[in-house]
Every structure is written in structure tokens, then in C-alpha cells.
Amino acid sequence: MTWWQSIILGVVEGVTEFLPVSSTGHLTITEKLMGMPIDDPGITAYTAIIQIGAILAAVIYFWGDIWRILTGWLGGLGNKSRRGSDYNMGWAVVVGTVITASVALVGKDLITGALRSLWVVGIGLILWSFAMFAADRYSAKLAPSKQRTLDTITWKDGALLGLIQCLSLVPGVSRSGATIVGGLFSGLDRLASTKLAFYLGIPTLVAAGVYEAATEFSHVSETIGWGVVVIGAVVSFFVAYASIAWLLKFVASNTFTGFVIYRILVGLAVLGLLAGNVITAV
């Protein structure tokens, strides 16, 4: 991998990490179009590690919220009188993260092996689009008075969304897309569902990136080198920060229909290229 290829991948990661379009799917497609072996341990590790740059952007952007939730959760652990919505949100994030991380560890070989196929990416992009469309329509039919806000979140919501987030371990589904769908079907409004996707994604993706860096250190060193990893992570940080600001403004007054259409078109394009033997699946 060259430095300019890493810059391109960093841009792709930064743009797509928090949009409901599957960053892993887009990175896999881009890596394949650049002629990289997408099932190589070094490449799969790179894909996970550069997410840390985008997550750092989210941490900085939401630092006020993160600090409030963290202090509210820690304060509530020792004092029942301090248990409020932030305490409940803290437990939702903890429970959801533990569930997703546990499933990811158990299924690591499958995730980095058989699922690293462009057939999976293409099908995942298309099929999950219908789930997004259904959730979006369901949310639109709810009266504003019946839509939930973040203040209503409990650990049970965290458990449910943690389970749903596990579906995003399949490339093409989208971590944020899975969480948003779960949030919308739970009655959360679009903005609340999107913010919850960020809160759940931060610890999950940091854990995934650190785990890959620790366990695949030698593969990265021997195949692509840590210099290009740093470049990709830095680029993804700056691009992701701008992407976060745009997404939150967008979802406040728009549906997810545009993302649904985009996902289906990209999925069909990938499957078409595979069927025509223009590219191979791995």
C-alpha cells in the first residue's frame, strides 16, 4: 500500500464511518479496486485500525456529552439520588458494547475470513437498505408526541441495540445503519437514533481498532507498514469530523431515503462487476 492509496482510504473511512452506508463495505470495495488482497490479515487489520481516527473525531465532537454521561454514570453507581438519564445512558452504552464486543470476539475468524467477500458486501448493502426504508417509514408515521428522545434510554435499549449492532459485523450492513434502524423501530426520533449510534459506536470501534493493532501488529509491519496506517487514520480524523457535523444537521430535517437509494445502487454495481468477472470476490 502506498501513501496516496492510504490517503484515499482515509477519506473513504472518514466520509462513510458514521453514515448508514457501511464504511467497511466501502473500504473493502475501494481496496479491491486498487488491486489489494482484501482477505489479507494486514489489510483487514488496516481497515479496522484506521477507524480509530474517525472515532477520535467523534470523541472530540461529542466530548461534552461523553463527559456528562460518564460522570453521571459513575456518580450514580455510588449514589442512588444521582441516577438520572445520563446514568441510564451510561448503562445502555456499557451493555450494548459488551454484547457487540463479545459476539465480535467469538465470530472473529468468520468476520475476517468468509465474510470478507464482495458478494457479501453487495448483498448486505442491498438487503439492509430495505430494513432502513421500513424503519424510516415507521418513524415517519409516529406522531411527534409518541417519538422517544435520548432521555428515555435504558439499559434494555442498550442490550437490544447492541444485539442489532452485531449485524453490522457483516460487511455491507453498516454499524450506524444497524443501530439507527433499531433506534427508529424502538420509537426514537431520527436525531436521537443517530446520536445513540455515535455513543454506542465510540467504545465498540475503539476496542476493535486497539484489538487489531495488538493482535495483528506483525502482519501490519510485514505487509503494509505502520506509516500508511498512521496516514489513513489522520486523514480519516479530519474528514470524519466534517462528516459528523453534516450528518447531524441532515437528519434533523430529512429522511434516510437518499442513503437507501445510494446503498442499493452501489450494491447492484458491485454485484454486476462480480457477475461480469470484472472483479473477483476476494
How many Å apart are CA 74 and CA 229, to the nearest integer? 34
3-state secondary structure of 187: coil
Q: What is the pLDDT of residues 178-224, one digit of tens each?
A: 999 999 999 998 888 888 888 998 888 888 888 877 777 777 888 88
- Phi and psi dihedrals of 149, rounded to 5? -110, 180
CA 271 to chain centre: 22
**Pairwise pLDDT comparison (146 vs 13), residue with the higher score:** 13
Phi, psi dihedral angles at 278 (to 5 degrees) = -75, -35
- The percent of residues above 90 in pLDDT, for the chain, comes to 50
Give the model's confidence band at 61: pLDDT under 50 very low, under 70 low, under 90 confident, else very high.
Answer: very high
Residue 157 has pLDDT above 70, yes or no: yes
What per-residue confidence (pLDDT) applies to 112? Answer: 66
Grid cell, residue 29, equals 470495495
pLDDT confidence bin for 105, thresholds 50/70/90: confident
pLDDT average, residue stretch 139-151:
85
Residue 2 cell numbers, joined: 502506498
Specify the amino acid at residue 161. Answer: L
- Quote the pLDDT of residue 280: 86
Q: Using only C-alpha atoms, what is the Rg of the chain?
A: 18
For the cut 90, the answer to whether the pLDDT of residue 48 exceeds it is: no
Q: Is pLDDT of 11 > 90?
A: yes
Contact (Cβ atoms closer than 8 angstroms) between residue 37 and residue 118: no
Cα 26 to chain centroid, rounded: 12
**pLDDT bracket for residue 38 (50, 70, 90):** confident
Task: Give the pLDDT score at 230.
Answer: 92
Length of the chain: 282
Residue whose cell numbers read 459528523 = 244
Largest CA distance in the chain: 64
Cα distances (Å, whole numbers) of residue 176 to 75, 89, 168: 29, 17, 8
Confidence check: pLDDT of 111 > 80: no
Percent of the chain with pLDDT over 70: 99
Q: CB-based contacts of 152: which residues, under 8 Å, 6+ apart?
A: 85
- Cβ-contact 9, 16 below 8 angstroms: no
What residue ranges do the domains of the chain occupy? Answer: 3-275
CA atoms within 13 A on the CB side of 264: 12
φ, ψ dihedrals at 154, nearest 5°: -130, 175
Mean pLDDT on 243-248? 90
80-93 average pLDDT score: 91
For the chain, count helices (H), then strands (E).
14, 0
The candidate with the shortest Cα–Cα distance to 153, out of 126, 124, 173, 183, is: 183
What is d(CA 124, CA 122) in angstroms, rounded to the nearest whole number?
A: 5
Which residue did the predictor score with more confidence, 114 or 95? 95
Which residues lie below 8 Å from residue 92, measured CB to CB, with a gap of 6+? 153, 154, 155, 157, 158, 161, 196, 199, 200
**Helix or strand (DSSP H, E) at 221:** helix 217-223
